[in-house]
Amino acid sequence: MKVLLIGSGGREHALAWKLAKSPKLSKLYAAPGNPGIADHAELVPLDIDDHAAVATFCLETAIDLVVVGPEAPLVAGLADRLRASGIATFGPSAAAAQLEGSKGFTKDLCARYEIPTGAYRRFTDAAEAKAYVREQGAPIVVKADGLAAGKGVTVAMQLDEALAAIDDCFDGAFGSAGAEVVVEAYLDGEEASFFCLSDGRTALALATAQDHKRVGDGDTGPNTGGMGAYSPAPVMTPGMVARTMKEIIEPTIRGMAESGHPFTGVFFAGLMITAKGPELIEYNVRFGDPECQVLMMRLKSDLLDLLHAAATETLDQVSAEWSDDVALTVVMASKGYPGAYDKNTPIAHLPESADGEKIFHAGTALKDGALVATGGRVLNATATARTVADAQARAYGLVDRVEWENGFCRRDIGWQAVARERN
């Protein structure tokens, strides 16, 4: 099979690395890709915003499957355009991608199908939103409705913060994403990420992970795209996974199909495991980054089989096997991230990785033949082991052998799970 992979992050490097292991793969292309992805794929200079050009490339090259990594091209309708040309595509339609693109859309679906989630109201007017927040009291959560690069959510422990967040949204801090605001009840518990494939009718549970969103050790400082992750998430016991499938994922698949927008692709469900059980915080319609990196390290099955089955409504014919090992990844970022940072700083050396270790590239580029850091999140030092503590030690062993002066990372990825192992 010939496959085109869309994207250029650490997530796509992990997907490329795993797809390349498939005996069914005859050729992998990636657009735009990065220097790590180039080890496994031919990079093609396609403008992925030009959907017609992507479709033309696929038809001319006889691509059998397109795998779309990031959410932006999905929300913009790339998968619709490709499927309209008869090209099998892993990733939801623009209408189904509203599960990530509009928090209000998802909350309304939850209400209709009795999917457990925090009680909420949608607002297009600041005064009404504020009156509701005053009535409910803190803690309370204020969210810009649309895509805001993970920055549109305020978990307000005090009323003042919630009121200020409402002003920020309506004053345009998140552009059009903040024209509507969702105010939601605060959920107390432990967070986990759950991944599950869907072909529109059938669900196939993948695996679980836990992310570290804050930039600083001890989960302090501003939110980021994710500074590290590990899989599996200990809080997601087999019983909790079964409940998540039955109470959250299956009604979502049913709801999307009944609304005329069947969901093809991967559900990345952000869950809060509360005293009542799993509750949905949000859906993403793509693999997490860096959660994907740890999932791919643990996946024993052929990824190409799974993604192709999801794209061709044959998910009931495949199954996914996972290693019992823990995988852990540490994100190395440019100093200053998530704020401003220098670009094109040299990465002098990357270490060789042994079996069960891998450095995935995110924001890297080659400049005059030398590797440089171009993005905020740049490298993902990833390792597997029997325990979280050992996977952590191996991943930091890799980090410590990287020579990149402008890089930094958290030193405590996996700390909660390591503490749990000690008890």
Report the nearest approach of ligand AMP to the CB of residue 211 (Å): 8
User: Smallest gap, in angstroms, from Cβ of residue 418 to ligand AMP?
Assistant: 20
User: Of these, 126, 155, 179, 365, which contacts ligand AMP (CB under 6 A)?
Assistant: 155
> Quick one: which segment of 16-24, 128-136, 180-188, 261-269 binds ligand AMP (CB under 6 A)?
180-188
Q: Which does 141 bind (CB under 5 to 8 A by kind): ligand AMP, ligand GLY, none?
A: ligand AMP
Contact 338, 405 (CB under 8 A): no
Q: In this chain, which stretch among 4-12, 47-55, 148-156, 329-337 interacts with ligand AMP, using CB under 6 A?
A: 148-156
Identify which of residues 223 and 387 has a Cβ nearer to ligand AMP in the complex.
Answer: 223
Candidates 14-22, 118-126, 155-163, 284-292: pick the segment binding ligand GLY (CB under 6 A). Answer: 284-292
Q: Is 100 an interacting residue with respect to ligand GLY (CB under 6 A)? A: no
The answer to whether 99 contacts ligand AMP (rule: CB under 6 A) is no
Residue 409 makes contact with ligand AMP by CB under 6 A = no
Name residue 307's amino acid. Answer: L
**Residue 222: CB minimum distance to ligand AMP, A:** 12
164 burial (CB, 10 Å; 0-12 / 13-18 / 19+) is middle
Residue 380 binding ligand GLY, by CB under 6 A:
no
Output the CA angle 61-67-72, nearest 5 degrees: 115
Closer of 282 and 421 to ligand AMP (Cβ): 282
Q: Which does 153 bind (CB under 5 to 8 A by kind): ligand GLY, ligand AMP, none?
A: ligand AMP
The residue type at 421: E
CB 381 within 8 A of CB 329: yes
5 belongs to the binding site for ligand AMP (CB under 6 A): no
What is the Cα–Cα distance from 18 to 15, expressed in whole angstroms? 5
CB contact at 8 A, 59 and 2: no
Residue 284 interacts with ligand GLY (CB under 6 A): yes or no:
yes
Residue 185 in contact with residue 116, Cβ under 8 Å?
no
Taking residues 223 to 242 in sequence order and writing x for each that binds ligand GLY by CB under 6 A, - otherwise, the string is --xx----------------
**Residue in the structure block whose two tokens are 């990825």:** 413
Report residue 85: phi and psi, to 5°. Answer: -90, 10
Q: Which is nearer to ligand AMP, 33 or 376 (CB)?
A: 376
Q: Please identify which residue in 63, 169, 187, 196 interacts with ligand AMP, judged by CB under 6 A.
A: 187
Sheet holding 364-367, edge to edge: 345-346, 370-373, 364-367
184 binds ligand AMP per the rule CB under 6 A:
yes
Q: Is 289 in the site for ligand GLY (CB under 6 A)?
A: yes
DSSP characters over 95-146: TTTHHHH-HHHHHHHHHHHT--B--EEEES-HHHHHHHHHHH-SSEEEEESS
Q: Is residue 391 a contact partner of residue 325, using CB atoms and an 8 Å limit?
A: yes
Q: Does 270 bind ligand AMP (CB under 6 A)?
A: yes
DSSP state of 247: I
Give 370-419 as a 3 state SS string.
Answer: EEEECCCEEEEEEEEECCHHHHHHHHHHHHHCCECCCEECCCCCCHHHHH
User: Cβ closer to ligand GLY: 262 or 414?
Assistant: 414
Of 110-118, 137-145, 163-171, 288-296, the segment contacting ligand GLY by CB under 6 A is 288-296
Residue 132 sits in the site that holds ligand AMP (CB under 6 A): no
Contact 118/141 with Cβ under 8 angstroms? yes
| Partner touching 225 among ligand GLY, ligand AMP, none, CB below 5 to 8 Å by kind | ligand GLY
Contacts with ligand AMP by CB under 6 A: the residue count is 13
Q: For binding to ligand GLY (CB under 6 A), which residues are involved?
A: 211, 225-226, 284, 288-289, 291
